[in-house]
Chains A and B, each alone.
Chain A
Amino acid sequence: MGGYATSGRRRAAAPEDAGAGRVLRALRRWLSGGRQAALEIELPAETAAIGALLDAVLAWAGQARLPAATAHNLALLAEELAANTVRHAAGATGFRLTARPVGEAVQVAFSDDGPPFDPLAAALPERGGPLEDRLPGGLGLRLIRRLTTHAEYSREQGRNRLTFTLGPAA
Chain B
Amino acid sequence: MQITEIVAGTAVVVALDGRLDTASAGAVEARLLALLERGAVVADLGAVRYVSSAGLRVLLKAAKAARAAGRGFVLCGLQPSVRDVFEMSGFDRVIAAYPGREAALAAAC
Contact = CB atoms under 8 A, between A and B. Distances in A.
Interface in B78-109: 80-81, 84-85, 88-91, 93-94
Contacts of B90: 131
A126 to B, nearest CB: 14
Contacts of A109: none
Given A69-B81, A139-B89, A142-B89, A79 B21 contact: yes
Interface in A19-54: 47-48, 50-51, 54
Nearest to B51: A76
Interface in B2-54: 19, 21-23, 49-50, 52-54
Contact of B81 (A51, A72, A132, A143): A72
A122 interface: no
Given A72-B50, A76-B85, A132 B21 contact: no
Contacts of B49: 72
Most chain A beta carbons < 10 A, residue from B21, B23, B63, B90: B23
Interface residues of A, number: 23
A51 B52 CA distance: 12
Given A69-B84, A136-B53, A79 B89 contact: no
A144 to B, nearest CB: 11
Interface string A65-92: 0001100100110011001000000000
Given A83-B22, A143-B53, 7 more contacts: A79-B52, A80-B53, A132-B64, A136-B56, A139-B53, A142-B89, A143-B85
Interface of B: 19, 21-23, 49-50, 52-54, 56-57, 60-61, 63-64, 67, 80-81, 84-85, 88-91, 93-94
Interface of A: 47-48, 50-51, 54, 58, 68-69, 72, 75-76, 79-80, 83, 131-132, 135-136, 139-140, 142-143, 146
18 contacts: A48-B23, A50-B21, A50-B22, A50-B23, A51-B21, A54-B23, A72-B49, A72-B84, A76-B50, A76-B85, A79-B53, A79-B54, A131-B91, A132-B64, A135-B61, A136-B60, A139-B53, A146-B88
